[in-house]
Chains A and B, each alone.
Chain A
Amino acid sequence: MISLDAVSHDYGGGALFRDVTVQVEPGSFYFLTGPSGAGKSTFMKICYGELKPSSGSVTLLKRDLAAMSRDDLAGVRERIGVVHQDCSFLDHLTLAQNVALPLTATGRPISGSDLDDLMGWVGLTDRADAKPPTLSGGERQRAALARAIVAGPSVLLADEPTGNLDWEMSQRLLMLIIELNRMGTAVVIATHDLTLIRFAKAQVQARVMRIAGRKLQLAGAEL
């Protein structure tokens, strides 16, 4: 699905991480942890092609990122669901329209009842017609998750998707993601919430990657 080979990244102030090699297989479930500022969001951006790494090669859905045209990348993103850490929306559209955007923007049909179900799952049925600027941080994160999965992606990349949520809602969303993973979607969640990771590991075969000391390590069962 997504594979990084000897990837290093450097924003200009020294290397953030070096020589990262990892493969996200279809149907797999990964957590990505590490202290704040370690480069989790950077890693995620590389995984959906928003950022080209300083060196190393990135393969997204069997295609080399460096050789992709913008339209190729768009085609790849049709199949990758992303929850951005900053959850940006089109502020002039309603929440429901924003959630449906991955379908609208790629000319795929939208089923109204599926959309309603999804909004219900993330607890936003009442807010479907609200504009994004009127939402709380938690509501934005739930909407961002709904938008990321509305098109039934092959891979879900979620950057701190539960950062602003209470524990109950976090669990609920995680269960939704786990359900999706059981149906075949590969999942990568960046989080520093160890409780969340423990909760997930009780439900699903999840592996944990940790960025620390400029290295990416695959953690064992020590959590």
Chain B
Amino acid sequence: MSTRPIADLVVPKAGQNVWLVTLSAAAMAFLAVFALALSMSAARLADSWAQALSETATVRIAAQPDEIEAQTAQVLEVLRTTPGIAAATVMAQSDQAALLEPWLGPDLPLDMLPLPRLIEVTEFGGGPDRQGLRLRLAAEAPGAVYDDHTRWRRPLVQAASRLQSFALLSLVLIGGVMTAIVTLAASVALSANRQVIRVLRLVGARDRFIARAFVRRISRRALAGAGVGTALGMAALLALPDPASAVPVLAGIGFHGLSWLWPLSIPALTFVLAWSSSMATAFHILRGVT
């Protein structure tokens, strides 16, 4: 007869909170999978928006037909001497026509329209000093407007990182609720078993032994529940519609490649959380039971 198995049994199994911990751990882990996915996707989204949009800009030149060539030359000269700009190319008329085709049709006499001239700019590093560049352009080529998409990029990136903060906050709240439930369950279990504690004390059991007997059971239930909840959460994510065909904003939600390993930390974290909070509760209560 070895010591371990009985040490596991010294706390009676029955109790109203048998399923409380398992079920809540499952529910919380399920939610945590989504919060984690949301937080990672939001981070990725914010990154990719910031990146893709910050590397390109457009200069639009609207001027009288007789001035447009001169201004274009001046703008190109200004851009060439501005730090932070990798390349600037005047968009060919055919490309401009391709851009307009969906709206105006294919057989467009572009020459007849007072179209602005477009210069595609590729930035590098942090891009140019935009304020300074705008001032120089205003002086040299009054018809030129430097448009680096910042106006509409910023709120998007902001929204995405706000979304990420919410997701992280949700993870913290989920952890908090889990801690509260485990603490409650541990204190109910110990209070309902005062007689067991008395007998164990009588035969020389130390607080550590008694606490462990309770804590081990509660943490195991939390681990099992969190395992099931995490698996269900991951399955639910896998079952989401194919990202490519979905709305672009939703397309990112989920894990990709190695990031699928992240949700696996949820059961482990739940176990650690359950162990430490129920251990603290058990010691606190045992201090009061003689």
Interface positions of A (Cβ within 8 A of B)? 48, 50, 70-71, 74-79, 82, 84, 88-93, 97, 100-110, 112, 115, 147, 151
Contact A110–B1 (Cβ < 8 Å): yes
Q: What are 30 A-to-B residue pairs whose CB atoms are below 8 Å? A: A50-B290, A70-B286, A74-B204, A74-B206, A77-B203, A82-B202, A88-B202, A90-B10, A90-B196, A90-B199, A90-B200, A92-B9, A92-B12, A93-B6, A93-B10, A101-B6, A101-B203, A103-B3, A104-B3, A104-B6, A104-B7, A106-B203, A106-B204, A107-B7, A107-B209, A108-B3, A109-B3, A110-B1, A110-B2, A115-B1
A102 and B14 alpha carbons, distance in the complex (Å) = 23
Q: How far is the CB of B29 from chain A (nearest CB, A)?
A: 30
Q: How far is the CA of A82 from the CA of B204 in the complex (A)?
A: 10
Q: Roughly how many angstroms separate A105 CA and B213 CA in the complex, as a whole number?
A: 10
**Chain B residues with CB below 8 A from A100, complex form:** 1, 6
Contact of B204 among A50, A88, A92, A105 (CB under 8 A): A105
Whether, in the assembled complex, B198 has its beta carbon less than 8 Å from a beta carbon of chain A, the answer is: yes
Could you tell me the distance between the alpha carbons of A54 and B201 in the complex, rounded to whole angstroms? 22
Q: Which 7 pairs between the two chains have the least Cβ-Cβ distance?
A: A105-B205, A78-B204, A77-B204, A102-B203, A92-B12, A74-B206, A104-B6
CB within 8 Å for A77 and B202 given contacts A104-B10, A105-B10: yes
Q: Which residues of B contact A84 (CB under 8 A)?
A: 202
Which one of B14, B200, B204 has the greatest number of beta carbons of chain A within 10 Å? Answer: B204
B1-24 vs A: 1/0 string, CB under 8 Å? 111001101101110000000000
Which residue of B2, B10, B13, B207 contacts A71 across the interface (Cβ within 8 Å)? B207
How many whole Å from A134's CB to the nearest CB in chain B? 16
Does B195 reach chain A (CB closer than 8 Å)? yes
* A103, B205: Cα distance in complex, Å: 9
- CB nearest neighbor in B for A52: B290
Give Cα distance in the complex from A5 to B254, angstroms. Answer: 73
A109: chain B residues at CB < 8 Å are 3
Residues on the B chain within 8 Å of A71, using CB: 206-208
Q: How far is the CA of A50 from the CA of B3 in the complex (A)?
A: 26
> Are B13 and A106 within 8 A (Cβ)?
no
In this complex, the member of B10, B14, B198 whose beta carbon has the largest number of chain A beta carbons within 10 angstroms is B10
Of chain B, the residue at the smallest CB distance from A48 is B202
Q: Which residues of A contact B198 (CB under 8 A)?
A: 88
> Chain B at the A interface: mostly helix, strand, loop or mixed?
helix
A-B pairs with CB below 8 Å: how many?
85
Determine which residue in B7, B14, B199, B208 has the highest number of CB atoms from chain A within 10 A of its CB, and name it: B199
CB distance from B255 to the nearest CB of A (A): 43
User: Min CB distance, A131 to chain B, in Å?
Assistant: 11
Q: Which of B10, B13, B199, B202 has the most CB of A within 10 A?
A: B202
List residues of chain B with CB within 8 A of the CB of A50.
202, 290
Name the contact of A70 in the complex, choosing from B10, B202, B203, B207 (C-beta under 8 A): B207
Residues in chain B near residue A88, CB distance under 8 A: 195, 198-199, 202
Once A74-B205, A93-B10 are accepted as A-B contacts, the answer to whether A107 and B3 lie under 8 Å apart by CB is: yes
The residue among A77, A79, A90, A93 with the most chain B CB atoms within 10 A of its own CB is A90
Contact (Cβ within 8 A) B204 A112? no
**Which chain A positions have C-beta within 8 A of B7?**
104-105, 107
Q: A75 to B14: give the CA distance in the assembly, Å.
A: 30
From B13, which residue of chain A is reached at the shortest CB distance?
A92
* Bound-state Cα–Cα, A12 to B161, Å: 66
Across the interface, do A105 and B209 meet the contact criterion of CB distance under 8 Å? yes
Contact status A106-B202, CB under 8 Å: no
- Please indicate the chain A residues that have their CB under 8 angstroms from the CB of B9 in the complex: 92-93, 97
List, in ascending order, chain B residues with CB within 8 A of A147's CB: 203
Contact (Cβ within 8 A) A105 B1: no
Write the chain B residue with the least CB distance to A105: B205
List chain A residues, Cβ under 8 A from B286: 70
Query: In the docked arrangement, what's the CA distance between A147 and B14, Å?
Result: 25
